[in-house]
Amino acid sequence: MIHTTHTILITGGSSGIGAATARMLAADGMTVYAASRRGTIEGSDFDGRIIPVKLDVNDEALTIKTVHDIVEKHGTLDAVVVNAGNGIAGSVEDSDDEEVRYQFETCCFGALKTIRACMEVFRKQGYGRVITITSVAAIVPLPYQGIYSGVKAAMLSITENLRMETSHLGDIQFCSVLPGDVRTEFTCARKIVKKAATSPYADEFQRAMKVIEKDETTGMSANIIARAVLRQLRRRRMSVRVIPRIDYALVGLLMRLIPECIKLPIIKALYR
């Protein structure tokens, strides 16, 4: 039996990729719970098909309650897009434990809380779909984004493990979408590590951040990522990894083919 998605939860639904995805899925007829700390989403609510909810994904009890409330109201929860996230920039050496924890808190621990809360429902239903929004940074090591790359690589790997581990539980599928540069609030919201200004890496860091910020602010529309999510949800079998837009997909392919000793100096040179 093919299960279609009617009711979906998107974390980080107040802006950027999450909000664009909420709008696109609602336009396709789905009921979308758009969860974020703000608990709002700009633009139309598509005749009540987008329901903004206030949720910090680091609050486990509230995450479980949010999922239970959706199931109580609709009878099912068909899918979740694990998207809530933020970024931190700085050299790996300059990043202290508190800053590393900040990066892992929402993007990894918050994501896992969301997945665990939904898995309980998906196991009982015998079906459910999970799309994690990771990043091309998971497979391309960008200078001064090491901790961010690390958390996204962790979530990519965990998503693939979950796909394998849950495959005997029914029609439960996991997929990761790896966006490249997207124009969103992400760039403004990014934290810089405390030691960055006085660091021996300061000059190189400033140069790299100029390139990174320019790439993001002139990057693709969040609708491109939203379309990739919608396409996966419509498929009978979701792909394991999806890199939207051909240029970024080609970068992904090159990363697999070129040996590390060649690719790392090339990447470094591109950010100087």
**Residues with catalytic roles:** 148
Rounded distance, CA 104 to CA 6, Å?
31
What is the C-alpha to C-alpha distance for residues 15 and 22, in angstroms, rounded to an integer? 10
Task: State the nearest-atom distance from the C-beta of 42 to ligand NAP, in Å.
Answer: 10
User: Which lies closer to ligand NAP via its Cβ, residue 39 or residue 170?
Assistant: 39
- Residue closer to ligand NAP, measured from CB, 128 or 219: 219
Q: How far apart are CA 230 and CA 227, in angstroms?
A: 5
CB of 106 to ligand NAP, least distance (A): 4
Residues that bind ligand NAP (CB under 6 A): 11-18, 36-38, 55-58, 83-86, 106-107, 110, 133, 135, 179, 181-182, 184-186, 189, 216, 219
Instruction: Determine whether 48 is exposed, middle or buried from the number of CB atoms within 10 Å of its CB (0-12, 13-18, 19+).
Output: exposed
For the bound state, the minimum distance from the C-beta of residue 120 to ligand NAP, rounded and expressed in Å, comes to 19
**Contact status, residue 163 vs residue 174, Cβ threshold 8 Å:** yes
Closest-CA residue to 238 (of 131, 134, 139, 159): 131
Vertex 29: Cα angle to 67 and 122 (nearest 5): 30
Minimum distance from CB of 222 to ligand NAP (Å)? 6
Nearer to ligand NAP, 45 or 56 (CB): 56
Cα 243–chain centre separation: 12
Among residues 185 and 203, whose Cβ is nearest to ligand NAP?
185
